[in-house]
Structure 1
Amino acid sequence: MRADEGAWRAPQHSLDPYATQPPLANPYAADASQTGGIDVVETWPGRQAPGFPRDGERPGSGPANGDGERDGDGSGGGAGGRGSGGGRHGRPGRSGRLLRGRPEDPRWARPALLVLLAATAVLYLWGLGASNYGNSFYAAAVQAGTKSWKAFFFGSIDASNYITVDKPPASLWMMALSGRIFGFSSWSMLVPNALCGVASVGLLYGAVRRVAGPAMGLLAGALCALTPVAVLMFRFNNPDALLVLLLVFAAYCVTRALEVASWRWLTLAGVALGFGFLTKMLQAFLVVPAFALAYLIAAPTGLRARIGHVLLSGVGIVVGAGWWVLATILWPASSRPYFGGSGNNSVLGLAFGYNGLGRIFGGDGNGGGGGGRPTGQAADALAALGSNASGDAPTAAAGAAARAAEGFAGGAPTGPGGGGGGGFGGATGITRMFSDNFGAQISWLLPAALILLVGGLWATRRAPRTDRLRAALVLWGGWTIVTALVFSYMKGTIHEYYSVALAPGIAGTVALGAWSLWQTRDQLVSRAVLAVSCGVTAVWDFVLLGRTDWQTWLRYPVLLTGLLAAVVLLAWPRLANREDIDAPTGRLTPARRAVAIVALAAAAFGTVGAPAAYALETASVAHTGSTPLAGPASARGGGFGGPGGGFNPGAARGADGTNQAGAAPGGFPGFGGAGGPNGTGSADGAGQPGGSATGNEAPATGATSAEGQTGTAARSAGGLGMDAQADSAVTKLLSTNAGLYRWVAAVSSSQSAASLELASGGLPVMAIGGFTGSDNAITLAQFQKYVKDGQIHYYLGGGGGGFGGGGNGVISQITTWVEANYSTVTVNGQTLYDLTKPKS
């Protein structure tokens, strides 16, 4: 086989429907009519007979030696002829295997893989520290995990273990272990997530290579690496980075299981999905239908065994997730933190409520129509800013605020930022993944994936049941379809960055679908599907680039080259007929080879050029906040999760994307923001500690009502907003005699607590109401007992708090009691209550 020939097809098996040579006899093969031509050993599932080559490669003609290797001209002794050096019987040593790859691969395959992984590492690691702590909510939990093993185990946001984050702790474990080894910092926290991205690309390559060869594996890995939302999340500290890695690893295990009906590999896939549950709960299970269907269809064994193996993988899921869930159930509630977001202090309540059915159907803390949103007076005031009594055209700031209100109400906001900063998915429906909110994050290649999936299934329609290519299409295509449909019709909270879970599925589907059609390119239908996928992708990229004012010149080269590639694909037989093949070498003549290279380059640029440019721009921009967005800064506002963005839905947005004066009620005043505990607003949203008028640098902290003075719709309880910087004088005050108290301060929500903890070096701060301020984690009586026992030093802020929740009035009750009974301390305009100094 020529050095480059094996790159374009999968390892050949006996009776392979795409085989280019007659199948070789295999003494270990079962009845080919039952297995679709794949060499299978009829022993207990998951085992291969001695000497059975890896990857199902045909054995050589020589006899097997004592180590199960074959001599002669087979695969066993051939490796040594490549100079890879080192091993017994001519096999390459470990270093040779790492650098030169498998003997059956072309020589360039492993170096190309190493280049891909190195380039991915540079893309994900370069300038990583610019994002600082990313999402301060998770950063504070990571910091707490470096200081307390109990906080580490449960995922507490404070080292004194009052309340956890609203997700399981698996991703926090990874980052906290790094912090314990290297010291807590932005880099030690973010680097593990970047390495998750590199590992995901490598595993995706491995899974696709086993089916379609190294060239398609490289294509799938590159497509995943250059997906804009993937670049975003692998450089961030949300749980999605580890989740994607676990999902890709599970898919790799299923791919291995499909080769020889291995229940071991399938069970390992279940264990990986169980750890996925410990990362982001039920979202990890969206791939289960595709994995199970692929195995039930194509595993080379009987139906009863296939069903049994799938059920056994379910046991693996239970084992992977159940050990931690069981530990949380058996652990006395009085000696562990409250599970934030659960509603009933239960992990299962969190999984099937707020993070489960609540996401699908809304309710249980999840807002309808794409996320929680301001209601009542806040929503009315925001909507009112879009017009005036005289019917005149609204101002730029008022119009932007009206669009923000529309986005929070579940509509389809204008612009990629989704109401000035992203964070909510817009209206439900089949087009959600292509909307302004999600389009530039994930949908660049989604149309091509859907087209190529249909084409690939058509191309393999006559293949045997166990055809591995079709099984792989079911696996990766099913992953894409199920996940996209669930995201499209979710009525609860959904953020744009969730779509990173689609990136491996889309990449794998595109690579495998294109390869299956290329194998049958002599048929007009196959060429037509390839051409349509290429042309549609170019047109869609043209549309997506037109939604922003970033690099508009790129639209036209992308469109033209993509359409050119589509035309070349349709005319391929005329460009590569038999007369253009050099008989001695079996290759195209130099002229036709040049045409093929031009066609390939045009197809690559026309389909991948736009998302690659968008991804590179994403890597060059710092991202902070709770709901970051991929892409250039011009495509994102500063609101909920914009660059540096604290959550300030009430703030009007100007034409330049900055927070403007006159924010409507419902805004989230920052710590030390205008008016302090009374919730009154500053005219410019700045001038107070932590305040800023610009959404792209720091969140606006003032919230002025429609009446111009008091924010009646939502009063701040010491809220720092999301990722606002705590005032240095306040953190210095909290650090005084900090060791005498279990919590140096109490605030309304986890976001406020996180900012204080990060600024103070990890001093524990009680987040009374959890992430939204609405968790019923404590009663007034319990809080009074903590104060009486001298466990809390300061209380920051007034009533309300969070997302307008207030823990069913608990925060308001605590605020009223504190204000009536304890002395105040004012630092840089911020009011604190010293709980060690009663007024009397």
Structure 2
Amino acid sequence: MTAPISPAPAPSPAPAPASAAPRWARPAFWAVLALAAVLYTWALGNNGHANDYYAAAVLSGAQSWKAFFFGSLDAGSFITVDKPPMALWVMALSARIFGFGTWSMLLPQAAAGVAAVAVVHSAVRRSLPGTAGHAAGLVAALVMTLTPITVAINRDNNPDTLLVLLLVLAGWFCLQAVRDGRTRSLVISAVFVGLAFTTKMLQAYLVVPALAPVYLAMAPGTVLRRFGRLLAAGAALAVSSGWWMLIVDLWPASDRPYIGGSTDNSVWDLVIGYNGLGRIFGGGGRGGGFGGEAGAGRLFNDVMAGQISWLLPFAVLALVCGLVLTARRPRPAEASAASGDDAPAARGDSRGASVALWLWGGWLAVHYVVFSFSSGTFHPYYSTAMAPAVAALTGIGGVLMWRAYRESRAWAWVLPVGIAATGAWAFTVLRRTPEFVPWLAWAVAGASVAAAAALVAARIGRRVKLRIAAVALVAGLVAGLAGPAAYALTPLGSAVNGTNPTAGPAGSGGFGGMRGPGGTPDGTREGFPGGAFPGGTRQDGADGASGTAERPQGDGAPADGGFADGARGSMRGGPGGTVSEQMVEYLKANRGGATWLVAVGSAQSASSIILSTGLPVIAMGGFTGSDPAMTVARLRELVSAGELAYVMPGGGRGGPGGGGDSEVSAWVQANCGVVSPSEYGGRESGQSLYRCG
């Protein structure tokens, strides 16, 4: 891919008008969107609060505009979550309008997922002319819809769903900028990347190495003019990425929440450390890896394979073949065969497809390298950002391979090989969990072999037997999507594991492969038991969504925010200890005029109490309990001002907010009185509640 020094070719022609679309195109497109909507919303109310950590921040943002702007965990704005707040803003606005609950929080996420499918369809459709573009777009949309990890994350409240939508919009406008040569299109693309940065920080920039070189090399105009437009887009990217970060870091620290996840109370440190280089090189990204060992085979291991890898081999083959095919100039017979509105598109066919292949191929390559070799925290659901590239390459490359199959004997072997290889990999993945729909692996293998053989047989002789080849092609597509479709259905049958959403049977994802989505701690999971379809509740009878126990499902109950009166059972959620229902009732009764109900070691405990009571709770050590958010001076100030009366230190992973030997804990033990469990009808436990002031 080299950039021309003289003026580049004229802008690629616009795609064929909607009136030229085949009759099946629009109904098929809407059917795929309907399928996506069903997969992303079916039994969504069963997911409760999904990820308690983000749900608490959504609720707090719906209660306080200050908490809304900063993305605070609590309505009192003591500490923020460890991500920028763009995704929280969308959900919190919905909660302000409709009241806080499962549907008001998660439905915007599902809608963003459906919108991302539509954008991918449009981007791919516009890359090829006429019927070919509609076919490629439909395949891409279907692949995107059925990607298992995408189904799982679109039913959760993690920020990745909005991240993907913003990034595919950036890709759409970058492709448009290459077509029309307008600075405006490129700037809009950059703004969407910047908004994605305000959603999940540096992960948004993984698309930049794909978008910028493609524009520089293939857009209209001289190199100097293209470079100037890229500079303008870079300025837009800087502003749209940095405005929130700049405001927060310039805001007086004494008048804003502590920046969760940072070591020095700055967004800059959060960007570079915890959410930046720490994720790649380890250290700053705390929490460990959930996707298996780093290395070239990570995306194909037992944890990741069923989430994203089903069509990766085909996508790579489609990319390579597509680039070779589009590099060839159209033959005279091909150019003269086009007529009417399709004639200009036919002349720009190879160029439009080539641009798209380079962009989506670069997108896939960068994500593959970063996700495979990152040694810091890595969750399987990060890989949903790869789904648009896999889908687009499968659609565009698959259509180009089909065309080559029909037109050239020399290329007739490529499509059958791609279908056979896809079937072989699907068989391998499915046989890793043989108890999961045991007949499916063999059906996929048989259908793939039959489809590949039929394609070969239909190509023997001078003329292609198109009907046989078309039926074989459809059979190959169905076989290739059967595995991911089976995995994609499993999140519908049980509550999402909010902190680590995955799809598939036990052992196919989750915490090191030890816990499936919505499954039990020992890895058991329902959904397709013995080959049956999913449905019902978890096998262990729990109804929680993110590792918490006895959480209210659906929208809770009361219209004033969806809270039951008091906590149901004990509330836990990772480091931070357990807070009983009796203790919460005692704290509510004795809160007085304090801003915060209680201060606990980590956000995992705080979020459960916030969600059960609707009241602010301090997470002294942030998400893991190790943030230096609480100091002795700050704690003394809060107690003296009457803003905080109760503290339960400890339960974190060390650091000023959590460890039992920390200065904060020592001050509490020396200056506050222990509340006897008999005062609230509780029992002695490893952690004590202290009354201060």
Structure-1-length-normalised TM-score: 0.70
- 1:803 is displaced (CA, Å) by 3.8
1:273–1:569 Cα change, 3 Å? same
> Structure 2 CA distance, aligned partners of 1:570 and 1:731?
69
1:487 to 351, 363, 371: 371
1:461 to 299, 306, 327: 327
> Structure 2 CA distance, aligned partners of 1:729 and 1:325?
40
2:584 to 711, 725, 731: 731
Corresponding residue for 1:141? 57
- Is the CA contact (8 Å cut-off) linking 1:644 and 1:695 kept in structure 2? no
1:318 aligns with 2:184: no
- 1:697 is displaced (CA, Å) by 6.2
Corresponding residue for 1:828? 682
Aligned length: 625
Corresponding residue for 2:135? 215
> Structure 1 CA distance, aligned partners of 2:642 and 2:226?
61
1:175 aligns with 2:91: yes
1:744–1:225 Cα change, 3 Å? same
> Structure 2 CA distance, aligned partners of 1:788 and 1:645?
45
> Structure 1 CA distance, aligned partners of 2:489 and 2:30?
20
1:440–1:206 Cα change, 3 Å? same
- 1:477 is displaced (CA, Å) by 1.2
Instruction: Say which SS state the counterpart of residue 599 (structure 2) adopts.
Output: strand
CA deviation map 1:748-787 (0-9, x unaligned): 0011100110011x21000000001111112123212212
1:535 to 420, 438, 444: 420
- 1:305 is displaced (CA, Å) by 1.7
- Is the CA contact (8 Å cut-off) linking 2:647 and 2:691 kept in structure 1? no
2:609 to 725, 742, 756: 756
- Is the CA contact (8 Å cut-off) linking 1:728 and 1:759 kept in structure 2? no
- AA in 2 matched with 1:323: W
> Structure 2 CA distance, aligned partners of 1:259 and 1:631?
40
CA deviation map 1:605-649 (0-9, x unaligned): 221111111101223221134112211356467899755679xxx
- 1:530 is displaced (CA, Å) by 1.8
Matches within 5 A, 1:123-202: 123-202=39-118
- 1:570 is displaced (CA, Å) by 3.1
- Is the CA contact (8 Å cut-off) linking 2:601 and 2:625 kept in structure 1? yes
- 1:529 is displaced (CA, Å) by 2.3
1:770–1:289 Cα change, 3 Å? same
CA RMSD in angstroms, aligned pairs only: 3.0
- Is the CA contact (8 Å cut-off) linking 1:35 and 1:300 kept in structure 2? yes
- Is the CA contact (8 Å cut-off) linking 1:642 and 1:696 kept in structure 2? no
Corresponding residue for 1:563? 449
- AA in 2 matched with 1:449: A
- Is the CA contact (8 Å cut-off) linking 1:628 and 1:641 kept in structure 2? no
- AA in 2 matched with 1:614: Y
Matches within 5 A, 1:111-510: 111-212=27-128, 213-364=133-284, 366=285, 372=288, 424-463=290-329, 467-510=351-394
> Structure 1 CA distance, aligned partners of 2:107 and 2:684?
36
- AA in 1 matched with 2:608: S
Corresponding residue for 1:814? 664
Corresponding residue for 1:774? 626
Corresponding residue for 2:472? 599
2:503 to 627, 630, 649: 630
Corresponding residue for 1:788? 640
1:462–1:724 Cα change, 3 Å? farther
Instruction: Say which SS state the counterpart of residue 618 (structure 2) adopts.
Output: strand
- Is the CA contact (8 Å cut-off) linking 1:233 and 1:241 kept in structure 2? yes
> Structure 1 CA distance, aligned partners of 2:582 and 2:71?
29
CA deviation map 1:72-106 (0-9, x unaligned): xxx8xxxxxxxxxxxxxxxxxxxxxxxxxx22222
1:763–1:210 Cα change, 3 Å? same
- AA in 2 matched with 1:282: L
1:170–1:273 Cα change, 3 Å? same
> Structure 2 CA distance, aligned partners of 1:736 and 1:153?
30
> Structure 1 CA distance, aligned partners of 2:23 and 2:509?
44
- 1:245 is displaced (CA, Å) by 0.3
User: Larger radius of gyration, structure 1 or 2?
Assistant: 1
- Is the CA contact (8 Å cut-off) linking 2:53 and 2:603 kept in structure 1? yes
1:512 aligns with 2:365: no
> Structure 2 CA distance, aligned partners of 1:430 and 1:837?
53
1:574 to 432, 456, 460: 460
- Is the CA contact (8 Å cut-off) linking 1:773 and 1:804 kept in structure 2? yes
Matches within 5 A, 1:659-678: none
> Structure 1 CA distance, aligned partners of 2:240 and 2:586?
44
Corresponding residue for 2:565? none
- Is the CA contact (8 Å cut-off) linking 1:220 and 1:507 kept in structure 2? yes
- AA in 2 matched with 1:768: M
- AA in 2 matched with 1:453: L
> Structure 1 CA distance, aligned partners of 2:475 and 2:539?
45
1:696–1:483 Cα change, 3 Å? farther
- Is the CA contact (8 Å cut-off) linking 1:621 and 1:633 kept in structure 2? no
- Is the CA contact (8 Å cut-off) linking 2:307 and 2:509 kept in structure 1? no
- AA in 2 matched with 1:156: S
> Structure 1 CA distance, aligned partners of 2:113 and 2:461?
39
> Structure 2 CA distance, aligned partners of 1:618 and 1:808?
34
Instruction: Say which SS state the counterpart of residue 187 (structure 2) adopts.
Output: helix
- Is the CA contact (8 Å cut-off) linking 2:506 and 2:525 kept in structure 1? no
1:516–1:723 Cα change, 3 Å? farther
- Is the CA contact (8 Å cut-off) linking 2:602 and 2:652 kept in structure 1? yes
- AA in 2 matched with 1:829: R
Matches within 5 A, 1:84-123: 102-123=18-39
> Structure 2 CA distance, aligned partners of 1:220 and 1:655?
33
- 1:805 is displaced (CA, Å) by 5.0
Structure-2-length-normalised TM-score: 0.84
- AA in 2 matched with 1:523: S
Higher relative contact order structure (alpha carbons within 8 Å, sequence separation ≥ 6): 2
Corresponding residue for 1:395? none
Instruction: Say which SS state the counterpart of residue 350 (structure 1) adopts.
Output: helix
Identity %: 44
Corresponding residue for 1:60? none
- 1:438 is displaced (CA, Å) by 1.1
- 1:165 is displaced (CA, Å) by 0.5
Instruction: Say which SS state the counterpart of residue 795 (structure 1) adopts.
Output: strand
1:571–1:738 Cα change, 3 Å? farther
- Is the CA contact (8 Å cut-off) linking 1:772 and 1:805 kept in structure 2? no
The gaps in structure 2 that reach 5 residues or longer are 331-347, 527-537, 550-570
- AA in 1 matched with 2:500: T
- Is the CA contact (8 Å cut-off) linking 1:243 and 1:279 kept in structure 2? yes
- Is the CA contact (8 Å cut-off) linking 2:259 and 2:266 kept in structure 1? yes
1:523–1:263 Cα change, 3 Å? same
Instruction: Say which SS state the counterpart of residue 744 (structure 1) adopts.
Output: coil
